[in-house]
Amino acid sequence: DQQVKQNSPSLSVQEGRISILNCDYTNSMFDYFLWYKKYPAEGPTFLISISSIKDKNEDGRFTVFLNKSAKHLSLHIVPSQPGDSAVYFCAASDGNNRLAFGKGNQVVVIP
C-alpha cells in the first residue's frame, strides 16, 4: 500500500507563475519530509525538506508547507522558471533512514 501519494501526475504552468505540487501521506509516524527534483537521465537531487515540528520551510523560490492534521504537504515554486521543468518526488521518513517516495509529478514550465 502506497504510503506517500502524489496525485495529478503532470502540471503545466506559465513562466513566472506559481507551481503548486501536492503530496499526501498515510503513516502518522512520518516526521521528516523531503522534495527531490529529477531531470531525465539524471539522479534525483535534494531540493528542500521540512521537519514535523514546523509547518513551513522556505528556500529561495521554493517553499514547503506541512499540514500534519491533514497529513498533507505542498511545494510552491514562485516564480516558476523553464529550468524548473522536471519530475518532482515527495518523500517521507519515520526516522529509520529509509524514505518512502511518491510516484512523482511532471512539471512543465512554458516560456
Q: Under rule CB under 8 A, which residues in 37-76 are in contact with other proteins?
A: 41-46, 49
1 is a site residue for other proteins (CB under 8 A): no
Q: Name which position in 22, 71, 94, 99 contacts other proteins (CB under 8 A).
A: 99
Q: Are 106 and 44 in contact (CB under 8 A)?
A: no
12 is a site residue for other proteins (CB under 8 A): no
Q: Are 6 and 87 in contact (CB under 8 A)?
A: no
The DSSP secondary structure of 16-30, one letter per residue, reads TS-EEEEEEE--TT-
Longest dimension (CA), the chain: 41
Interface with other proteins by CB under 8 A: which residues?
6, 9, 32, 34, 36, 41-46, 49, 89, 91, 93, 97-99, 101-104
